[in-house]
C-alpha cells in the first residue's frame, strides 16, 4: 500500500484547507494522517465518506509517512521536521522556519517549480502575500525584466489564522449589540479599522511581513530579481488578501499596459484577469475567496513614470497563499495527476 501523507496542524485554518484539497485531489483516506496538538487528538474529521481520527503530534507520529505537510507554527516545524525526515518523509513546510535557509528551496510551482525535479527533502512554502505577488509579477518579469515593484497590501484576517477570523466575526456581533470589542488575537480593533500588519517592526521601520516579501521574492526569482518596497496592512476582511502594485521595468521603455501586459497576465497559469472598466469590475476579496486563481486587474500605465505600470490583485490567502501552493508542491513531489 502507498505510504502515508501526514498533515501537521490539521485543525488550523490552513491545515483544514490542505485536508480538503487532498480530498479533492482524490488521495485515498487510508493515505491521510491528521496530526495536531494533544488538545485536538481524538477528534474526528469527515474525509470522503469516512471519518479520520486526529492523532497527537509527537516524535513517533511520522512512521510510515512518505510526505509531511506542515501547517503549524515555526516552532512546531523546527521541532518536528527532523522527526519527519528521520522517518523517511519529504517535507513541505508552510511556516517561516526554513524559508530563507540555504539549501532549502522556496517554491511557487508556477514560477520555479523545476527545482522540485531534484526531489528535495524539505521544501518551504513562501509567505502568503509573497505567493500572490509572485504569480502576478513572474509572467511579466519573464518577458521583460522588472527592476522594482512598490507594493501595498490589504491583508485579511485569514492571514492571522482561524482565531483572528473568529475574533473579527465576534467584533461585528458585539458592535451590533453595543458590547465592548475584544482584541485579544492581534491586539488591535479589527472592525471598521485598518492598521499596520501585526508583526514586529525592525530598526529600519519595516515590519516582518514587509521584509518577508522583499527577501522571499529575491530568493524565488533568483538572479535579476526585482527590488521590492512593501507596506503591509490589515483590513477588516475575513478571507483573501489584496495588493496594489506599481511595477517598473529595467528597460524603462513605455509599452501600453492594456496591450502586452494584460495579454501576458491572461495567459499566465494560476491567474485570472478581471479588468472591466466599463462595468467597474475589478478584483475583490469576496470574489477571490474560495477559488484557486489569483485575480488581477486595474492594469494600466503609470503616467508619472515611463515604462511603469499599475495593477491590483486579490487572492485567497488560505488557498493559493498557503494550502493550495503546498498541495501543488506535494503533487509534483509525488507525481500525482492534477
Give 100-143 pLDDT, tens digit per residue.
999 999 999 999 999 999 999 999 999 999 999 999 999 999 99
Are the C-beta atoms of residues 269 and 142 closer than 8 Å to each other?
no
- Counting beta carbons within 10 angstroms of the beta carbon of residue 128, is it exposed (0 to 12), middle (13 to 18) or buried (19 or more)? buried
CA distances for 28 relative to 15, 25, 48, 323, angstroms? 17, 9, 8, 18
Which pLDDT score, from 0 to 100, does residue 1 have?
A: 42
- Counting beta carbons within 10 angstroms of the beta carbon of residue 51, is it exposed (0 to 12), middle (13 to 18) or buried (19 or more)? exposed
Are the C-beta atoms of residues 243 and 133 closer than 8 Å to each other?
yes
| Digit-coded pLDDT (tens) for 200-234 | 899 999 999 999 999 999 999 999 999 999 999 99
Which pLDDT score, from 0 to 100, does residue 337 have?
A: 46
| Digit-coded pLDDT (tens) for 148-188 | 999 999 999 998 888 999 999 999 999 999 999 999 998 88
| Digit-coded pLDDT (tens) for 267-277 | 999 999 999 99
Bridge-partner residues for 248, per DSSP? 148, 308
| Digit-coded pLDDT (tens) for 65-75 | 999 999 999 99
Q: Write phi, then psi, for 166 (nearest 5 degrees).
A: -65, -35
Cell 509525488, residue located: 334
Q: Name the strand (E) or helix (H) holding 192.
A: none
Residues above pLDDT 90, as percent of the chain: 87
Report whether pLDDT(258) > 80: no
Helices (H) and strands (E) in the chain, counts: 9, 15
Report whether pLDDT(293) > 90: yes
Closest by alpha carbon to 147, among 76, 258, 252?
252
Max Cα–Cα distance, the chain, nearest Å: 61
Alpha helices for the chain (secondary structure H): 13-24, 74-86, 109-112, 128-143, 162-177, 208-221, 262-266, 285-288, 324-334
For the whole model, what pTM was predicted?
0.94
| Digit-coded pLDDT (tens) for 185-199 | 988 899 999 999 988
Bridge-partner residues for 47, per DSSP? 50
The CA distance from 21 to 27, in Å, is 9
Say how many residues make up the chain: 338
Count how many Cα atoms sit within 13 Å of the Cα of residue 118 in the half-sphere of its side chain: 12
pLDDT band at 336 (very low <50, low <70, confident <90, very high): low
The one catalytic residue among 141, 232, 241, 242 = 241
Closest by alpha carbon to 288, among 326, 321, 330, 310?
321
Bridge-partner residues for 36, per DSSP? 56
pLDDT band at 49 (very low <50, low <70, confident <90, very high): confident
The CA distance from 24 to 47, in Å, is 10
CA distances for 12 relative to 29, 32, 74, 190, 305, angstroms? 19, 16, 14, 20, 44
Are the C-beta atoms of residues 146 and 307 closer than 8 Å to each other?
no
The one catalytic residue among 80, 128, 141, 197 = 128
Mean pLDDT along residues 289-297: 97
Closest by alpha carbon to 8, among 60, 65, 59, 77?
77
In the annotation, is 197 catalytic?
Answer: no
Q: Which three cell numbers stand for residue 75?
A: 516552532
Residue 177 CB partners (closer than 8 Å, separation 6+): none
Are the C-beta atoms of residues 326 and 127 closer than 8 Å to each other?
no
pLDDT band at 2 (very low <50, low <70, confident <90, very high): low
Amino acid at each position: 500500500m502507498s505510504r502515508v501523507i501526514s498533515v501537521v496542524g490539521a485543525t488550523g485554518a490552513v491545515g483544514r484547507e490542505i485536508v480538503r484539497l487532498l480530498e479533492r485531489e482524490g488521495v485515498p483516506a487510508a493515505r491521510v494522517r491528521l496530526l495536531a496538538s494533544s488538545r485536538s487528538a481524538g477528534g474526528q474529521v469527515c474525509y470522503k465518506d469516512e471519518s479520520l481520527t486526529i492523532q497527537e503530534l509527537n516524535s513517533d507520529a511520522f512512521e510510515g509517512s512518505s510526505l509531511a505537510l506542515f501547517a503549524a507554527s515555526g516552532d512546531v516545524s523546527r521541532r518536528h521536521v527532523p522527526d519527519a525526515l528521520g522517518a523517511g518523509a519529504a517535507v513541505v513546510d508552510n511556516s517561516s522556519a526554513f524559508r530563507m535557509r540555504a539549501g532549502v528551496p522556496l517554491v511557487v510551482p508556477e514560477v520555479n517549480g523545476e527545482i522540485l525535479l531534484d526531489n528535495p527533502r524539505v521544501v518551504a512554502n513562501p509567505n502568503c502575500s509573497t505567493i500572490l505577488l509572485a504569480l502576478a509579477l513572474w509572467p511579466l518579469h519573464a518577458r521583460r525584466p522588472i527592476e522594482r515593484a512598490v507594493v501595498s497590501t490589504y491583508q485579511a484576517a485569514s492571514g492571522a489564522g482561524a482565531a483572528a477570523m473568529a475574533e473579527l466575526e465576534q467584533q461585528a456581533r458585539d458592535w451590533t449589540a453595543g458590547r465592548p470589542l475584544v482584541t485579544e488575537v492581534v491586539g488591535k480593533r479589527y472592525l471598521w479599522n485598518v492598521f499596520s500588519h501585526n508583526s514586529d517592526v525592525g530598526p529600519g521601520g519595516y515590519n516582518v511581513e514587509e521584509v518577508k516579501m522583499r527577501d522571499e521574492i529575491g530568493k524565488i526569482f533568483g538572479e535579476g530579481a526585482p527590488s521590492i518596497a512593501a507596506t503591509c496592512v490589515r483590513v477588516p476582511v475575513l478571507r483573501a488578501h489584496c495588493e496594489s502594485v506599481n511595477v517598473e521595468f529595467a528597460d524603462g521603455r513605455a509599452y501600453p499596459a492594456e496591450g502586452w501586459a494584460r495579454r501576458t497576465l491572461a495567459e499566465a497559469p494560476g491567474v485570472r484577469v478581471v479588468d472591466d472598466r466599463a462595468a467597474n469590475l475589478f478584483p475583490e476579496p469576496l470574489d477571490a475567496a474560495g477559488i484557486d486563481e489569483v485575480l488581477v486587474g486595474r492594469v494600466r500605465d503609470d503616467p508619472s513614470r515611463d515604462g511603469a505600470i499599475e495593477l491590483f490583485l486579490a487572492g485567497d490567502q488560505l488557498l493559493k497563499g498557503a494550502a493550495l501552493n503546498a498541495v501543488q508542491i506535494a503533487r509534483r513531489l509525488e507525481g500525482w495527476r492534477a
